[in-house]
Amino acid sequence: MAFLELRYETASGRKMNRQSNNSKDETYLLGQTPSAHQRLLVQGRMVNVFTRRVFEEAGITRGMEVLDVGCGPGDVSLIAAELVGETGRVLGIDQSEKPLQMARSRAKKAALNQVSFKVSDILHVKLNQEFDAIVGRFILAHLPEPSVVVRQLTEHLKPGGVVVFQEYDLSTHANAFYPPSALWEQVWTWCTQTFQQGGGELAMGIKLPGALLEAGLPVPQIRYEAAMGAGPDWVGYEYWAETVRIFLPLIEKFGIATEEEIEIETLADRLREETVSRRGVARLPALVSAWVRTM
């Protein structure tokens, strides 16, 4: 087995940390609180169908060994585990133990014994094995130089291995809600400006194919799609409101809006009423999927 050691440095050779403090939990802008993890589960209800389909098209199948980078509470790892079956193996890694506790519980409940989870900083990974596939969802937008990370990870991919990443395109909100809505416009601005000022890459989705090419991979297959909803029962209203709630301290810190202006306790209901009363639709950010099989 190859020994995988990922040490992340900038092009100048300087070690890069997104935050000046040493708390790994704070390197993820949306935090590692129970509410943040629940938000990810709600998100998964809307986008897991896209992830499963891309994994199937990319060729993740029975018997494979898969590494899920930045696995959080385990949605992507569990999808991969179902596809590789009992003869395969999935390892999910995350920088914090907190979401992994939930991931392990979910795997046990689903009787997916072929998946395991390990605390590991993506910028400094040590693993004593190679993989048939390396996957990640919503992780590269949080890294200063994602292609460097991808390149070093894929050096330890088995020949003919598969690489799959998915990222949001937050750089545009064309047709993100219809009819046009001042409230939805505010929500989009609150979330995207906070993410950008916190160091996140709004255009990671649209930059994803180029990042894989820069990492030395062949031209990837690409898909651009979005989870969309309408009517009173769509979980997207709660998802957007919870995103704003989690960002609220930073929204105020950056001077984007005040808690009084946001009225967080009624935000989900107001988004629902705004959409339903006008027979409208709204969506999550567009999801870009890129996948490639190495030679």
**From the first residue on, what is the mean pLDDT of each consecutive set of 10 residues in the chain (295 residues)?**
36 37 46 77 96 98 97 97 98 93 97 96 82 97 94 90 98 96 98 96 98 97 97 98 96 97 98 98 98 92
Q: Parallel, antiparallel, or unpaired: how do β-strands 126-127 and 131-137 relate?
A: unpaired
Domain count, the chain: 1
Residue 50: give the domain boundaries: 4-293
- Cβ-contact 69, 136 below 8 angstroms: yes
- Predicted confidence at residue 152, as pLDDT, reads 86
Question: What CATH number does residue 19 fall under?
Answer: 3.40.50.150
52: closest CA among 84, 95, 93? 84
- Predicted confidence at residue 125, as pLDDT, reads 77
- Predicted confidence at residue 12, as pLDDT, reads 35
- Predicted confidence at residue 32, as pLDDT, reads 59
Residue located via tokens 């018997």: 63
Residue 29 φ then ψ, to 5°: -60, -30
16: closest CA among 135, 153, 121, 134? 121
- Asked if the peptide bond before residue 146 counts as cis, ω within 30 degrees of 0, the response is no
Rounded to an integer, what distance in angstroms lies between the CA atom of residue 94 and that of residue 71?
Answer: 6
- Predicted confidence at residue 110, as pLDDT, reads 97
> Cα–Cα distances in Å, from 21 out to 25, 27, 58, 143?
10, 9, 38, 16
Rounded to an integer, what distance in angstroms lies between the CA atom of residue 223 and that of residue 173?
Answer: 17
- Predicted confidence at residue 33, as pLDDT, reads 76
